[in-house]
Amino acid sequence: SWTPDSFVETTVKELKAKLGNDKVVLGLSGGVDSSVTGVLLNEAIGKNLTCIFVDNGLLRKNEFESVLHSYEDMGLNVIGVDARQKFWDDLKGITDPEQKRKIIGRNFIEVFDVEAQKLKDVKWLAQGTIYPDVIESVSVNGPSATIKSHHNVGGLPEKMNLKIVEPLRLLFKDEVRRVGKALNIKHELLGRHPFPGPGLGIRILGDVTPDKVRMLQEADSIFINGLRSWDLYDKVWQAGVVLLPIQSVGVMGDERTYENTVALRAVASTDGMTADWVHLPYEFLAKMSNEIINKVRGINRVVYDISSKPPATIEWE
Ligand code: XMP
């Protein structure tokens, strides 16, 4: 019968046989699938694996540094690339969500490509594809068919003449988590909420600017840390903050302010296809609202999204 330990044992053996002394490149996202793929390949081929982790300027606060450190702690051979400015430049003035996604996806491929080309003699591109992605990419169900598209560095395999290796291709998400546990990956990494590839880029409604990214990172970090310290993080499937393109009036001392609104979102789900908004405690929401308004310059109003999917999607764009 299937156990995580037997999966690790046979897969490492198979990877060794398949890859021999070949060099492999992998794009890490900070998510569960690519992390487990990286650790598994590291067990099999060690330093012949090079991982690339790109800061697209749309990650959560401190995410780049902290994820990079945990990868290094796990012994992965990882290159961190600060490409923030390139993403911000190319997103300047862009408001259409799908156009944002395209730009972010294209930039990721370009940055990854430049880094991968610097490596000598790479033969394989590893990907954290899991079984639901395999099914998703053959079915035509609207937006979800393109959801993962940015993760796949399309065009690169042909261009660099790379073969593809996808060790998690037959696993479901819960199996991936169990394999990760068998590989001693920390719960902190394995239990992470899903986070969209385009990141905060699709949680800033309207155009993306570095200052808006800063505001959203601050508010999001207060909310996510709050969920953790109130022991709510593991009870929620996904959570985040959305920066709305709305200003409203507030007062601060004797001054009248005209500043931004954020919406908090927290949902319960099993696969993201349907989702219910979570009945977070009022006391918690009150705390979060106060803390965000007091600490984040530029935000004077906080609302909570009480819409379920369908019809309201998890992301706002
Ligand atoms: P929606 O908003 O469609 O989201 O209810 C369902 C799940 O998919 C994630 N999502 C994305 N993930 N690239 C991704 O990698 C995307 O463009 C994208 N759009 C939505 C969303 O965070 C949720 O987990």
Q: Which residues of the chain have pLDDT under 50?
A: 139-150
Q: Where in the chain is the domain with CATH 3.40.50.620?
A: 4-190
Q: Is the CB of 206 under 6 A from ligand 1?
A: no
Q: Is the CB of 305 under 6 A from ligand 1?
A: no
Q: Can you give the pLDDT at residue 134?
A: 84
Q: Where in the chain is the domain with CATH 3.30.300.10?
A: 203-304
Q: Is the CB of 197 under 6 A from ligand 1?
A: yes
d(CA 147, ligand 1 centre) in Å: 6
Q: Can you give the pLDDT at residue 157?
A: 72
Q: Whose CA is nearest to atom 17 of ligand 1?
A: 147
d(CA 122, ligand 1 centre) in Å: 31
Q: Can you give the pLDDT at residue 138?
A: 61
Residue 33's nearest CA partner among 183, 163, 217, 156 is 183
Going from the C-alpha of 24 to that of each of 16, 39, 46, 183, the distances in angstroms are 12, 13, 10, 20
- The CA distance from 48 to 313, in Å, is 41
Residue 302's nearest CA partner among 193, 200, 222 is 222
Q: Can you give the pLDDT at residue 190?
A: 93
CATH tag, 203-304:
3.30.300.10
SS3 119: coil
d(CA 18, ligand 1 centre) in Å: 33
Does the annotation flag 30 for ligand binding?
yes
Q: What angle do CA 166, 134, 160 make, to 5 degrees?
A: 45
Burial of 2 (0-12, 13-18, 19+ CB in 10 A): exposed
Does the annotation flag 149 for ligand binding?
no
- The CA distance from 167 to 42, in Å, is 12
> Which stretches within 92-171 are classed as H helix?
97-118, 131-138, 144-147, 156-159
ipTM over 0.85: yes
Q: Is the CB of 196 under 6 A from ligand 1?
A: yes
CB 125 within 8 A of CB 157: yes
What is the topology classification, in CATH, of domain 4-190?
Rossmann fold (3.40.50)
Atom of ligand 1 nearest to the CA of 143: 3
Query: To test the ligand 1 pocket, which listed residue (147, 270, 317) has its Cβ within 8 A of the most ligand atoms?
Result: 147
d(CA 286, ligand 1 centre) in Å: 27
Both structure tokens of 121? 């003699």
43-80 per-position pLDDT tens digit: 999 999 999 999 999 999 999 999 999 999 999 999 99
d(CA 142, ligand 1 centre) in Å: 12
What totals of helices (H) and strands (E) does the chain contain, helices first? 12, 9
Q: Can you give the pLDDT at residue 192?
A: 93
- The CA distance from 49 to 22, in Å, is 9
Does the annotation flag 308 for ligand binding?
no
